[in-house]
Amino acid sequence: MAASSWAASPDVAPARMTSVVRSDSRTGRLVRSVVVSNRAVNQSAEQATPIPSGLNELVESIAARHDLSPQLIHAVIKTESNYNPHAISPKGALGLMQLMPSTARRFSVSHVFDPVENIEGGARYLKYLLELYDGDCPLALAAYNAGEAAVAKYNGIPPFPETQNYVVQVKNNLEKLAAAAQALQAPPSAVQPPPPPSGPTHVQEVVDADGTVRYVSR
């Protein structure tokens, strides 16, 4: 991925509404609730959300297949849905990587709430955008959020607070994930061997002129 500058975070982040579909434990019916939050998700809240079991292996496999960084996919998932596979945005984006229905169709995603298909489709879209913008990750992320037409119209990251904030949020999550992965791969610190014993090699008897006998180490 080519290195490039990242957009500055805007002063005010817009509100973000996320519709969550869950099964009611009593009736078994699907119930939809709407959660309103800042587009830049609170960091402490995000850090408290564990990665669902098995998702690391799935992301690793899909990332390898498309020659992508698994940390990038995780950073997008965390920013888009915070690992909620049933997330629905007010604009109709769906699932872990918040695919619009048109994007899902474009990348052959039939079951958008299925984590495997959703991540596969999102990864294929990210790969396409990275190739389209010659490895420029901020531009690819801006297009992922606002669409390719918006990036083309403004010849760069669009001046939308949500999109600018989105690019910065993914970057921040990516840096944290990369740092965590590097820490896991760091070799353990070398253990210094104990110093050799400081005891005498041998003791010698010395007789002074006055007849005093002393023992000294050599």
Residue positions annotated with a catalytic role: 80
Going from the C-alpha of 44 to that of each of 19, 155, 178, the distances in angstroms are 21, 34, 18
Going from the C-alpha of 111 to that of each of 65, 80, 120, 124, the distances in angstroms are 20, 18, 11, 15
Q: Which residue matches tokens 């119930």?
A: 31
Phi, psi of 214 (to 5 degrees): -125, 155
Rounded Cα gap, residues 97 and 114, in angstroms: 11
Rounded Cα gap, residues 182 and 184, in angstroms: 5
- From the list 76, 93, 94, the residue with the least C-alpha distance to 85 is 94
Cβ atoms of 47 and 173 closer than 8 Å: no
- From the list 173, 157, 150, 81, the residue with the least C-alpha distance to 119 is 81
Rounded Cα gap, residues 113 and 98, in angstroms: 10
Structure tokens at 193: 């061997």
